[in-house]
Amino acid sequence: METIVNRNSAIQNIDRLDRDFGHDTIAQLMIDVRTPREFEEVHIPGSRNIPLTDLETFLPELRELSRHQRLILVCRTQNRVKLAYDEFVIHGITNVRILEGGVTKWIADGRPVTRGRRSISLEGQVRMAAGTLIIGGTALGAFFSPWLLMIPAVVGAGLIHAGWKDSCLMGMLLSRLPFNQRGYVV
């Protein structure tokens, strides 16, 4: 069993996974770490949804599963799987790979997906929330108190930090809201 603990070395493209596992087997090994709502909208057939926010709960089961087969982590574009991968490695689960480009590349390559109802992606929700806080904070600061201009400043600093660390606290918080959970109907 090959062990890779360097995150960048764990990223594998679809063609290599096809060659290593065979086309039909790949999806059965995939763990999709997006929110249940994103998963319901579009996912790779046969993949399993374990949201990043719930990952720790499933680590014992995934550790056992990884003893028998390599797990392939997938999200929309590959950002959240990096956090998930780090979590796996911290807990000693190293028989894990990252699907290069995520579901977005999978779709772009013309591979099959299962589609459900359309919703706003978590990244879209983050952009909307940040924009609302920036516009609202600027308006409040202009009309009520200059101290309220701290709101857009803090949001801006948070966006810089999110880009620098490739991790987004606002996204993690939004992913826990009820409308991002399985079974919630808008």
Q: Return the residue matching tokens 């660390």.
A: 165
Given a cut of 70, is residue 186 above it in pLDDT? no
User: Each residue of 75-108: pLDDT tens digit?
Assistant: 887 778 888 998 998 998 888 888 888 888 889 9
DSSP string, 84-108: HHHHHHHTT--SEEEETTHHHHHHH
CATH number of the domain bearing residue 108: 3.40.250.10
Cα dihedral angle (149, 121, 94, 8), rounded to 10 degrees? -70
Residue % of the chain over a pLDDT of 70: 81
Total tally of structural domains belonging to the chain: 2
Residue 149 has pLDDT above 90, yes or no: yes
Asked if residue 60 and residue 92 are part of one domain, the reply reads yes
Q: How many residues does the chain have?
A: 186
Task: Please give the pLDDT value at position 150.
Answer: 94
15-36 tens-digit pLDDT: 666 666 665 555 568 899 998 8
Per-residue confidence band for 155, with pLDDT thresholds at 50, 70 and 90: very high
Same domain membership, residue 134 and residue 95: no
Do 97 and 169 lie in a common domain?
no
Residues 14 and 93 in one domain: yes
- Domain assignment of residue 171, yes or no: yes
Residue with tokens 């699907």: 99
Tell me the pTM. 0.61
In a domain, 186, yes or no: no
Query: 139: pLDDT confidence band, cut at 50, 70 and 90?
Result: very high
In angstroms, rounded to a whole number, what is the distance separating the alpha carbons of residues 182 and 78?
21
Q: Using an 8 Å Cβ cutoff, are 105 and 81 in contact? A: no
> Which of the residue ranges 31-40, 72-81, 143-152, 159-168 has the most confident prediction, judged by mean pLDDT?
143-152
Whole-number pLDDT of residue 4: 46
Same-domain pairing of 28 and 50: yes
Mean pLDDT on 33-45: 87
Backbone φ and ψ of 32, nearest 5°: -95, 115
Q: Which domain holds residue 36?
A: 7-115
**What integer is the mean pLDDT of 117-126?**
77
Report residue 89: phi and psi, to 5°: -65, -40
